[in-house]
Structure formats: C-alpha cells, structure tokens
Chain A
Amino acid sequence: MPRAILSALEKESIEPVAWAYADLTCDGTLEGSGHSTANTYLVLSATELVLLSSKTTSSVKTYNGYFEKRVRAKAATLPEVVDSIRRLSLADISSPKVENLVSGGCLLVTVNDAERILCVFSGQYVHPMTDFCRELERATKKDDTDGAKGPEHDPHANAHEEETRCPKCGMLYPERDRKICPRCMDKKSIFLRVLKYFAPFKGRIAIMMLAVLAGTAMTLVLPYISGTVLFDNVLAKDEAASAFLESLGIPGQFVTALWILAAALLLSKLLQTLFSIIQGRTVASVVPRVMKSIQTSIFDSLGRLSISFFSRRQTGGLMTRITGDANEVMGFFIDGLPYIFTHAAYIICSMVIMFTISWELSLISLVLIPALFTVGFMMMPTLWHYYGKRHRANRSMNARINDNLTGARVVKAFGREQEEIARFDKINSRVRRSELDLVDFDNKYLALFTVVEQLAQLAVWLVGSILLLGPEQGITYGVLVTFVGYVTGLSNPLDFMSYAMRWWTDSMNSAQRIFEILDAVPEVTERENAIELKDIKGKVELEGVSFSYEPNKPVLKNVSLVAQPGSMLGIVGHSGAGKSTIVNLISRLYDCNEGRILIDGIDVRDVTFASLRKSIAMVSQETYIFMGTVEQNIAYARPDATSAEILAAAKAASAHEFIMRMPDGYNTVIGAGGRSLSGGERQRISIARAILADPRILILDEATASVDTQTERSIQDAIDKLIVGRTTISIAHRLSTLRAADSLVVIEHGEVVERGTHAELARAKGVYFKLLQLQSKALALKGISDTPKDS
C-alpha cells in the first residue's frame, strides 16, 4: 500500500484488516471510467469498508507481466495524493460480489437494499479482488450470525498468487506451470547432465573430436600451402625451397616442387575429407544410441508418473517433448558443440598465425571482424522471427487443410467448395508471403554479411598491396595470399558463433524440459512394505473423503459410502457432480485429500498398485482400443489367458458374434490404423476385457451412455452377467441402467445428498425422485413410456 494511503488511513484512524486495489474507477457514478491513472484502494477495517481514490501523476500504465531489461529508476511511481475517501459501515453492506466483464471485472455490493458498483478493475486484479470480496463477505456475514461460524481460513486461498516470474531477473516464466527462467537457469549443470548420456561412447566421441580437430588443422594448413609456400617459396624460388629440393636430391627442379606442392594440397584436401567422413560416421553411430537412451528414459518415467501429470498437460505437448526436445538437444550436441570448439580453435589459431605473419594486416581485419560478428548478431533475431512466422503460417495452413478434410462431408453437403478454396487461397498466399519475406530477409542478411566480408577482404588486399608495393616491402605476395585465405576462412566460424549462443540456450531449455519429466515425482506413490491384496471379499468403503483436482475447487466434500461384497451400488448425479472422481479415487489414480478409502477394511494407500488394480476392473464410457488384434485387446489385462478363456469372455460380453463376422475373427487387427469398430462394439470388447480380468470389484462408469437403446440392451445383458458375484459400483445418469442396484447414492455438488434403495428414494420425493420424474417425462415427450410409474 502506498504511503499516502497509509497515512490517510492513519489520519482517519482506520485499522486495515484487508485491502485491494482497483485500477479503472472507483465511484459508483462511472464518470470517467477507465482512465488509466485512476487508482482506488478498498480497505476493510473491523467495522467499515473504506474507499480511497487517488491520482498518480505517472502517465504510463503498466499491466501485469511487463518487463524491462534495464530496470529504470523507481521514480516512475510518483507519490500518490488521496483525493477522496468514502466510508461505508459494514452493517449497511450485504452480498458483495465480483462480476466478470469482458475483460477485467467489477465489485458490486448492496448498500441499503440498492445494488451499487464499487469499483472496476482490469484482468490482473480479478483474483486479488475475489479474495478481498470473500473477506468482505465474511465480515458482513459475521454481523448476522454473530460469529457463530468463525472465519474459516482456506489454506489454498492464496494459491494463485504463487510466483509466475523469475525471482532473479523478474522475467515471466515462458510456460506457466514451469518455474524455469531460460535466462537464469543453470545451463552448465544441465549441460553436464546431458553429457552423461554420452559417457558410454567416450572412445567414439574422442575419435570424433580428434577428427574434428585434425580437419580444422587441415583447414588451417591449406591457405599457408596455397599462399606463402606456393608464391614465396616455390614460385619465388627462394632459399627454403632450394634447400628443400637439395635435401631431396633434386636441386633446382622447381617444377617438381610444384608437383610436390600440388600433391601436398591434394593430400591435405583428402585428409580433410577423410576426417569429415570419420566424424560423420562416429556421429551416425553415437547419435541414434544416445537418442534411444534418452527417449527410453523419458518413456520409463512417463509410465511411473501419476495420471494427474497427464491430465495437467496436453498429450501433444508430451509427444513433442519425447521426440522434439530429444532431437533439439542432440542437434546441438552433434552439430553445434563440436563446431563451437573447432570454430573457436580455428578463430584463435588463425588469429595467432595472422599476427605472426603481419600485424598490420591483422589489425585491419581485427577491426572488420567485430563488424561481421555484429551484423550476424543484430540480424539473427529478426531472421529467427521470420522463420517463426513461416512456421506459424504453415501450421495454420495445415490446420485449415485438416479442418477441411475432416469436415469434407459438411462442405460438400452445403456446396461450399468454392468458398473453401477461396479461404484456402487466402491462407496459402499468407504462407507464400511469409516464405517470400523470409527469403527476402535472408538475402538481405546474406548480402550484408557478404558485403562486410568482402569489404574485409578488400581492405586486406588494399592495405596488403600498399605494404607490398611500399618502399619497405613489408610483406611478400605469398603472405598476402595466405592472409586473405585466413580472412576468408574466418567468415564461416564467425557466422556460426553469432547464432551458437541462441542455439545453446534453446537446446539447454529443451534438455531442462526433458529432465523435468525424468525428475518429476509421482504424486501417487506406493508406500514401502505395501500389502498384497489377496482373496478379497470386495467390500468398498469411503470414509469422509474430500478431494479437489485444483486447490480451492473441492470436487468431493466429506463423502462416505459403502458397497457391500457382491452387491451393486449405484451412484447418481448430474454431470460434474463428482461421480467419476469417486471412481478415480477408488482405483487410486489420485489420492484423496482427506478421509480414506478402504477395501475389505484395508486403506488403498497401504496396498500395492499391482494387486489393487488387479482387484478392480473398470468399464467406462471412453473405451480405448489399442493397436492390435481383437484377441490382444481382450487379453490386455491378462496376456497369459488361454484361447478358451478369451472366447468365453467374448461370448459373455456378447461380443463373440460380431467378432466372428469379421473375416479374420479374433485375429482381426483393430484400433488405430486397423478395422474400425462401432461404439457398441468397442464397448463390448472393453466389457470382455473386464470379464477376462475377473476382478472382485467392478466399476461401471457410464458404460452404456453413448450407445443406442438396442445396443444398450445387449450391453446391459452382458453387464448383468458380468456383475454376478462381484462388488459393482455403477455410475449412470440414465436411471434405467441402475434398476438392478441394491442401493443408490445421490451426489450433488460433491456431497452425498440421498441414499437408500430405489423404492426408498422414490418415496422420499427428493432429488432422486425429481431425476426420475424428469427422465420419465422426457421419455413421455418422445412418446415412449419405458417405465411408466413403476415406483
């Protein structure tokens, strides 16, 4: 809170309990609403709600997340001047609420029976204001109930205030759920950790590095041979050349020397090629292996993680992580890292050689080298940007194609082909434009880079020639040629270095993402010395279970229920009431926050995963058919099942007939890429799967919700067979499905509101009765009276 507000409060002797800030307007009149300089502070004291409005003289308004590289002096926040104070007694206030606007929101309260708008604020203040509103509600309510209900403090209330920015540099985290700042992350330790994956291939890596270094050496030798040696020694017929020829016993044969030189040039070229082949081959043998071990370890840890990990992230995102990130990391380690060394080595070595040859010329190129580097460094981000733009354009074109192919029937049915073609054309020309933009800029970049490069060479030529022709004869012609060779050779490494930094950051970020999966701790874990669940009777109990997927949003509140061994318990409720959550908790895909779940009196948290999940089978609305044959799909939970058992299970699930109608019978390949099955057929396969698993406890989660009435009949028959002798927990919103239930539980907003048998509940005329009436009315409207008043 700014000092001006605090001192104003002090002057009025108001003791703040809670406060909130609104940035758009404060007075109920809405006059001048939305001025970015309006500030409102809402302060809650023990007896009052105080509204203070003030003006800052700062002309710039900064929204959440904005971040400047150079943090300017805090002078921007000029002292505030309080220009009005309004006090409202809490006794007059009731029903405060935050209402969402298109962007941001407003706070409304009822003052003396008239609803009043207190303040308007933009998006970033919605959360804090909601908290404040809750506080206000509590304060206003306390007067009515005289503190009967003490202020309950929700531990999760401030959960959304958790840091979204890097504490070190103040930048927002690129991914919301990932508290990693790419600028500040410890790239070195990540780098070392990735290196570990290469450890088994030390020998080969060493060979590769040697080859790379040798190749660089060859590159360094080449200009020297074709420059100094050729012009100054051989062509100039100097002493060194003569001495060399004499030592070979062929004095004076300078043409032969030329041949030897040519051979040496050829040899070093050949060696250079040889080294690059060796390098290529070692890379080819190492990379796939390291890739494999990284991807395997990612997949391993994915299997280990709890279901919540998957539901929090998109499957697509995970796919890119496994393939894309591993590729990105590898790409850098193979195509980047070795060259960083060699290019650095090349730059240093050639600089040293250049200086030993001629310091005057070196100084000239030294001035131009930074220029070259700067060009790369300055233009690279924009170039990346254009790449990104092309990528986005391509992606939206793909999306459009996909959209059209999927909706081909609708397009045809309404005869909109021409319009679709026009729409596609538009997006296609965007792709073309982005491609042209990219090429355009790339050319500009290349042109500029080449110009600078050429200028450097030209300057070297020019100064070199002056030195050559000058009275002192500073250098020889061969030296000049050698020198230009080195200067030319520098441009590639410099170009490379200018984007290596970005490459390194990106790849370390990818590596970090991979390690996040590897390091993720599963939320649901098996405890040490977990008990094997054996020969159970199948009693399922929930004792005061509370659960929430997200803090602050309870899905289940103190739910207790019992399913007796061998009986069927039906769970009824609106969609979103928390029915499926109960199932997730029983099979321990999640752990409950409070209370416990018992199977035969044993807490599910004390039981091994394997034995728990062996005892429970689930048939749900979403059936998943894996790629494979019918046989494999049915035997998914028990791959060792005999053919006879599989047949029996399929028969009991009334799946046998349709399976036999397929040409390859039980060996028919189904699932993605295979023969497609109808919803009812998939459902029956999944029932057969459950029958074969032969669990003590069976969970039916809306098993028949998505199929037609006739199919439902046959599935229902299959289920009737399946539930015999098992504890069954059945969830349905179609009440007819639950006819056979021994007892029913009605869930509303995560709480058990009614329980009893069908007859009892129908007599009680409560929620269940209403649902029953609603459904029979709906049927009546359709002209079907399926269950005419059977209560």
Chain B
Amino acid sequence: MNTEIKDENKEYEQIIAQQNQKVEQMFSISFLTKENTTVERTEGGLMSATVDGTFYKRVRPVRCFPFTDPDKYISLREGSGNESREIGMLLNIGDLGAEAEAIIRNQLDLMYFMPIIKKILSIREEYGYSYWDVQTDRGELRFTVRMGGNSINKLSDTRIIISDLDANRFEIPDTSALSAKELKMLDLYL
C-alpha cells in the first residue's frame, strides 16, 4: 500500500520534472550563433539548417517585427502552419555570416513579398471599393481595396500598408515623398 503511493508520487514527480523542462524551453529564447548554427540552401530553392548538431531539412525564417525591425529578431522555424516550432532566434540577420545572410534574405523575400508603391497614378472609389492604379518597384500595378475595415494600415504617420481583396500587400514607405497631387488622392483614404 505504502509502496504503491510512493510509486505514484514518483510518477507524478517525473511528470512535473518533464513539465518544468518544457516550461523552461517555452519561456526562454535561444539565440543562434555562427558557432552552433549553419544554414544551407537546398537544391529545391529552400533552406535547411544544422543547429547544435541536429539537422533540419526545411527551415523557415520568420521576422518578429516585420515592419519595425525587419533585420533583427529572426526566428528560424521548422514545420509549417500551426505545427511550426521555433528552433532558435537570430538577433541580427547577419549573425551567421554573409553567405548565410544572403540565403536567409532570399527566403525572407519570398515570405514577405510586397511591392513598394513609388507613385500613385489614380485612386477611384465606387460602391464600397476603391480602385488603385500605382507605379511600384515591380512595375505598374492595379488593385482593388475594400472600403472600411482594416484594408489600410497606418504603421506610422507616413508609412502605410495597403491590403487588397486577396490580402496582397502594397507598401507606401513614406507618404511625405509623394507629390501634393498624389497626397490629395491618398488623403481621402487615410
């Protein structure tokens, strides 16, 4: 009887110890360095990594602060969607060396594809949608934005992210660089 209770207690203690370990993992961030991490570009255009001797076939870099601090705090993650898990964090994008940085940047560019609006050609509104015709770093683009709601996200007083119907994003990095005429067109939508 006594031993049974003791066994049971042992079992619980083990569980608690395991839990504590997990909790610790959950609550601290492990930063990756040149010493413990290497990344490689795979033949298929993706990225793999070796961290502390463990090889991860597919690793995705994700920014913690994609808008405010894009080159710092980059989480390297395995798996995708809801099952993704952090392997470790890069404090600076260049922490693993220039070659690694190029690979990571390439993956980030894929992940965060967003044309930059250079010039607004026209914005027109009709029945709940606005129709934009803009010049971007990717050529002239035309897209449609639903009015109302959160389609236009003001990151700061001068920086704007616009999401179209299908959640494609377009950025105006600095509205003060626009001409007075463009600003006037834009102003009605801010």
Residue contact A36 to B138, C-beta cutoff 8 Å = yes
Known: A66-B143, A117-B46. A103 touches B127 (CB 8 A): no
Stretch binding the partner chain, chosen from B31-39, B88-96, B103-111, B175-183 = B103-111
Residue contact B140 to A34, C-beta cutoff 8 Å = no
Kindly report which residue of chain A lies nearest to residue B18, judged by CB atoms: A777
Residue contact A63 to B127, C-beta cutoff 8 Å = no
Which of B44, B112, B164 has most chain A Cβ within 10 Å?
Answer: B44
Q: How long is the Cα–Cα vector from A780 to B14 in the complex, in angstroms?
A: 11
Q: Could you mark each residue 104-148 of chain B with 1 if its beta carbon is under 8 Å from any beta carbon of chain A, else 0?
A: 001001111111000000000111110100000011111110001
Residue contact B15 to A780, C-beta cutoff 8 Å = yes
A118 to chain B, nearest CB (A): 9
B70 to chain A, nearest CB (A): 12
User: Is A374 on the interface with B (CB-CB < 8 A)?
Assistant: no
B128's partner among A64, A120, A175 (CB-CB below 8 A) is A175
Residue contact A126 to B166, C-beta cutoff 8 Å = yes
User: Is A106 on the interface with B (CB-CB < 8 A)?
Assistant: yes
Residue contact B168 to A385, C-beta cutoff 8 Å = no
Residue contact B140 to A60, C-beta cutoff 8 Å = yes
Kindly report which residue of chain B lies nearest to residue A102, judged by CB atoms: B112
Please provide the chain A residues from 86 to 116 with a CB less than 8 Å away from any CB of chain B in the complex.
99-104, 106, 108, 111, 114-116
User: Is B80 on the interface with A (CB-CB < 8 A)?
Assistant: yes
User: Is B45 on the interface with A (CB-CB < 8 A)?
Assistant: yes
Kindly report which residue of chain B lies nearest to residue A174, judged by CB atoms: B128
Known: A116-B45, A174-B127. A64 touches B164 (CB 8 A): yes
Collect the chain B residues with CB atoms within 8 Å of residue A102's CB.
66, 111-114, 169
Residue contact A115 to B57, C-beta cutoff 8 Å = yes
Known: A114-B42, A114-B44, A117-B45. A101 touches B111 (CB 8 A): yes
Collect the chain A residues with CB atoms within 8 Å of residue B165's CB.
63-65, 123-124, 172
Kindly report which residue of chain A lies nearest to residue B19, judged by CB atoms: A781
Collect the chain A residues with CB atoms within 8 Å of residue B42's CB.
114-115
A395 to chain B, nearest CB (A): 9
Q: How long is the Cα–Cα vector from A61 to B140 in the complex, in angstroms?
A: 6
Kindly report which residue of chain B lies nearest to residue A381, judged by CB atoms: B125
Kindly report which residue of chain B lies nearest to residue A426, judged by CB atoms: B157
B152 to chain A, nearest CB (A): 11
User: Is B16 on the interface with A (CB-CB < 8 A)?
Assistant: yes
Collect the chain B residues with CB atoms within 8 Å of residue A122's CB.
113, 166, 168
Residue contact A65 to B144, C-beta cutoff 8 Å = yes
Residue contact A116 to B167, C-beta cutoff 8 Å = no
Residue contact A59 to B139, C-beta cutoff 8 Å = yes
Residue contact A65 to B164, C-beta cutoff 8 Å = yes
User: Is B58 on the interface with A (CB-CB < 8 A)?
Assistant: yes
Collect the chain B residues with CB atoms within 8 Å of residue A789's CB.
8
Q: How long is the Cα–Cα vector from A385 to B42 in the complex, in angstroms?
A: 52
A680 to chain B, nearest CB (A): 30
A103's partner among B12, B109, B168 (CB-CB below 8 A) is B168
Q: How long is the Cα–Cα vector from A780 to B46 in the complex, in angstroms?
A: 44
A172 to chain B, nearest CB (A): 6
User: Is B1 on the interface with A (CB-CB < 8 A)?
Assistant: no
Q: How long is the Cα–Cα vector from A101 to B43 in the complex, in angstroms?
A: 20
User: Is A171 on the interface with B (CB-CB < 8 A)?
Assistant: yes
User: Is A62 on the interface with B (CB-CB < 8 A)?
Assistant: yes
Collect the chain A residues with CB atoms within 8 Å of residue B98's CB.
none
Kindly report which residue of chain B lies nearest to residue A172, judged by CB atoms: B129
By size class, the interface of chain B is 35 or more
Q: How long is the Cα–Cα vector from A61 to B16 in the complex, in angstroms?
A: 58
Q: How long is the Cα–Cα vector from A117 to B44 in the complex, in angstroms?
A: 6
Collect the chain B residues with CB atoms within 8 Å of residue A385's CB.
125, 188
A124's partner among B57, B80, B168, B188 (CB-CB below 8 A) is B168
Collect the chain B residues with CB atoms within 8 Å of residue A126's CB.
166
Collect the chain A residues with CB atoms within 8 Å of residue B15's CB.
777, 780-781
Please provide the chain A residues from 236 to 275 with a CB less than 8 Å away from any CB of chain B in the complex.
none
Collect the chain B residues with CB atoms within 8 Å of residue A36's CB.
115, 138-139, 141
Kindly report which residue of chain B lies nearest to residue A30, judged by CB atoms: B45
Residue contact B168 to A66, C-beta cutoff 8 Å = no
User: Is A389 on the interface with B (CB-CB < 8 A)?
Assistant: yes
Known: A389-B188, A781-B19. A66 touches B113 (CB 8 A): no
Q: Could you mark each residue 7-49 of chain B with 1 if its beta carbon is under 8 Å from any beta carbon of chain A, else 0?
A: 0100010011001000000000000000000000011111000
Known: A117-B44, A781-B16. A34 touches B57 (CB 8 A): no
A104's partner among B12, B126, B142, B168 (CB-CB below 8 A) is B168
Q: Could you mark each residue 28-60 of chain A with 1 if its beta carbon is under 8 Å from any beta carbon of chain B, else 0?
A: 111001111100000000000000000000011
Collect the chain A residues with CB atoms within 8 Å of residue B127's CB.
171, 174, 182-183
Kindly report which residue of chain B lies nearest to residue A63, judged by CB atoms: B143
User: Is A67 on the interface with B (CB-CB < 8 A)?
Assistant: yes
**Assuming A61-B139, A116-B43, what are 18 further A-B pairs, CB within 8 angstroms?**
A35-B139, A36-B141, A61-B140, A62-B143, A63-B144, A63-B166, A64-B166, A67-B131, A99-B80, A100-B81, A101-B113, A102-B66, A102-B113, A120-B110, A122-B166, A123-B165, A382-B188, A385-B125
18 A–B contacts, CB within 8 A, in A order: A28-B43, A30-B45, A34-B113, A61-B140, A64-B143, A64-B164, A66-B143, A68-B131, A101-B110, A103-B163, A111-B44, A117-B110, A122-B113, A123-B167, A124-B165, A174-B129, A175-B128, A183-B127
The 8 A-B pairs of least Cβ separation, nearest first, read A123-B166, A116-B44, A65-B144, A174-B128, A63-B143, A28-B45, A117-B45, A124-B166
